[in-house]
């Protein structure tokens, strides 16, 4: 149970941190190799690009979890504090609809790329592994949104607090 709680609270943060550290080290090594030793690493830019894609998609889930995604709050201000919960539900419904559309189109796309067997030019990793970031990140964001809806139903004041999910668990 402690392991699941730890993963629930820290999984995205650990992944994003690790990816950013690896990307930074790779790019610093690339700059050193290119400008100091005049022997560039041909694979470094491709790896950094692929890692950035994964960082972005996992980071979207982290943004939902920490309530750091972009929000337009003029409606609750216009209609008063009682409307905050309603607009929070509308916002969550919009995020879930967006995630469903992305999942609907991205899963078959990743399957087609896997069936083709396309490899990246320099790293020669299967491209479906890079493209899999889209359905994985979107699915994680959808799960975090459902978690936020559940917590808001459980505690109606949760939406008014605007607190990240990790504080509610």
Phi, psi torsion values for 80, nearest 5 degrees: 100, 170
Measured from the Cβ of residue 125, the count of other Cβ atoms closer than 10 Å reads 14
The β-bridge partners of 126 are 119
Q: Does position 163 have pLDDT exceeding 60, yes or no?
A: no
Q: What is the DSSP letter of 83?
A: G
C-alpha closest to that of 149 among 139, 159, 140: 159
Q: What secondary structure does DSSP assign to 98-146, as a single string?
A: HHHHHHHHHHHHHHHHHHHT-B-TTT--BHHHHHTHHHHHHHHHHHHHH
Looking at residues 46-59, what average pLDDT do you find?
Answer: 94
Q: Render pLDDT for 95-139 as a digit per residue (tens, 0 to 9).
A: 999 999 999 999 999 999 999 999 999 999 999 999 999 999 999
Q: Render pLDDT for 18-44 as a digit per residue (tens, 0 to 9).
A: 999 999 999 999 999 999 998 889 899
């Amino acid at each position: 149970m402690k392991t699941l709680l730890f993963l629930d609270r820290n999984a995205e943060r650990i992944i994003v941190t690790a990816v950013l550290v690896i990307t930074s080290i790779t790019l610093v090594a690339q700059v050193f190799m290119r400008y100091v030793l005049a022997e560039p690493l041909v694979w470094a830019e491709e790896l950094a690009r692929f890692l950035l894609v994964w960082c972005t998609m996992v980071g979207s889930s982290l943004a939902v979890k920490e309530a750091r995604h972009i929000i337009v709050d003029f409606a609750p201000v216009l209609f008063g504090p009682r409307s905050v919960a309603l607009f929070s539900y509308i916002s969550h419904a919009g995020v879930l609809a967006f995630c469903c559309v992305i999942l609907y189109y991205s899963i078959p796309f990743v399957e087609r790329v896997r069936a083709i067997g396309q490899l990246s030019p320099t790293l020669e990793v299967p491209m479906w592994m890079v493209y899999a970031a889209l359905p994985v990140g979107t699915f994680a964001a959808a799960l975090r949104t459902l978690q936020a809806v559940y917590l808001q139903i459980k505690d109606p004041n949760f939406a008014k607090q605007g607190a990240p999910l990790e504080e509610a668990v």
